[in-house]
Amino acid sequence: MDTAYYLNLAFNGVVEGSIYALGALSITLVFGIARFPNAATGDVMTVGAFGGLAGTTLGGGVIGAILAGVAASAAVTVAFYYLLFRALAKRSAVASMIASIGLAFFLRAALGFFMGHDQRVYDLPLARATLVGPLRVQPADVQVMAAAAAALAVTFGLLHLTPIGRRMRAVADNPDLARASGINAGRVMVVMWLMAGALAGLAGVLLGVKTVVTPDMGWDLLLPAFAATILGTIGNPVGAVLGGLLIGVAQELSTPFVGFTYKIGVGFAVLLLMLMIRPQGLFARNALVR
């Protein structure tokens, strides 16, 4: 196989990795600030995908789908912050984590019950790919990557350029000191859940555009997103994004050697290797200056 073949594989990996990265960013935000691994992230993605479906049905096209999906997921996560996670914040992280597992089951079962298990698709026109050098680039993939990149830019902008972002980073760094400095932790939490929900919702819509919408779709993406989070150091947003891309590219580039049924295993092998060599994750040093 020639260079073009590998370049295309790597490109596929970047597209898949963009979706993992959004999920990982959502997980890492929750972990950094609310301090528990949110197992419902995958199913919040599914909520976003269904929300996006409603957006296109109302005639909004891709933009309508993204707006509706992001709004649906953000609404769900904020609602569950008020109903569930706020009350559990004083308990140990395990309580919140177990609650999030329950929430995941609840969301999936509710979607299955009300929407059925038949697949649904986004009613968007199909377009052919164009050749960019050796790369075969599909318009849909460009949209996926552009949307992911825009979301990442907005997230980093919020975290680093706005007052609320600064407060979020302060809470992530040292909750007690932040409270002592007069930061309203409640408002920080609401903004954080809005962002985490919006990112997961966007991931869901993008996945739905590429594949089909079913109640199980987000659940299937939870493990790679968690792997990306751990790979890039838990709680580190830059690490989450790079971790997602790395896992995506590693999986696709491995296929000529291990075949297609084992490429998922490669993602986890990379993770395992990392945990043995550098258990704190790739970007642990950056975490200190979050």
8 Å CB contact between 65 and 57: no
Please give the helix or strand (H or E) that residue 132 lies within, else none.
strand 130-132
Binding to other proteins by residue 140, rule CB under 8 A? yes
Cα separation, 149 vs 147, whole angstroms: 5
- Site residue total, other proteins (CB under 8 A): 38
Binding to other proteins by residue 143, rule CB under 8 A? no
Cα separation, 198 vs 155, whole angstroms: 10
Binding to other proteins by residue 286, rule CB under 8 A? no
Under rule CB under 8 A, which residues in 76-135 are in contact with other proteins?
A: 116-119, 121, 126-130
| C-beta of 182 vs 261, nearer to other proteins | 261
| Binder among 258, 260, 275, 278 for other proteins (CB under 8 A) | 260
- In 3D space, the residue among 201, 202, 214, 250 whose CA is nearest the CA of residue 76 turns out to be 201
The 3-state DSSP class for residue 116 equals coil
| Binder among 220, 268, 284, 290 for other proteins (CB under 8 A) | 220
Region near other proteins per CB under 8 A, out of 5-13, 78-86, 146-154, 280-288? 5-13
Backbone angles phi, psi at 286, to 5 degrees: -60, -30
Nearest approach, Cβ of residue 252 and other proteins (Å): 5
Region near other proteins per CB under 8 A, out of 31-39, 137-145, 158-166, 236-244? 137-145
Convert residues 7-46 into a mask of x (bound to other proteins by CB under 8 A) and - (unbound).
-xx--x--xx--x---------------------------
| C-beta of 86 vs 120, nearer to other proteins | 120
Residue type, 68: A
| Binder among 101, 132, 146, 212 for other proteins (CB under 8 A) | 212
What are the distances in angstroms from CA 186 to CA 33, 171, 174, 189, 191?
11, 11, 15, 5, 9
3-state secondary structure 182-222: CCCHHHHHHHHHHHHHHHHHHHHHHHHHHCCECCCCCHHHH
The 3-state DSSP class for residue 131 equals strand
| Binder among 115, 135, 264, 284 for other proteins (CB under 8 A) | 264
Cα separation, 128 vs 74, whole angstroms: 33
| Binder among 156, 263, 284, 290 for other proteins (CB under 8 A) | 263
| C-beta of 35 vs 263, nearer to other proteins | 263
8 Å CB contact between 13 and 252: yes
| C-beta of 64 vs 112, nearer to other proteins | 112
Residue type, 125: P
Cα separation, 15 vs 246, whole angstroms: 11
Region near other proteins per CB under 8 A, out of 30-38, 136-144, 234-242, 266-274? 136-144
| Binder among 114, 133, 180, 261 for other proteins (CB under 8 A) | 261
Residue 83 CA, chain-centre distance (Å), reads 22
Residues that bind other proteins (CB under 8 A): 1, 5, 8-9, 12, 15-16, 19, 116-119, 121, 126-130, 136, 138-140, 207, 210-212, 214, 216-217, 220-221, 252, 255, 259-261, 263-264
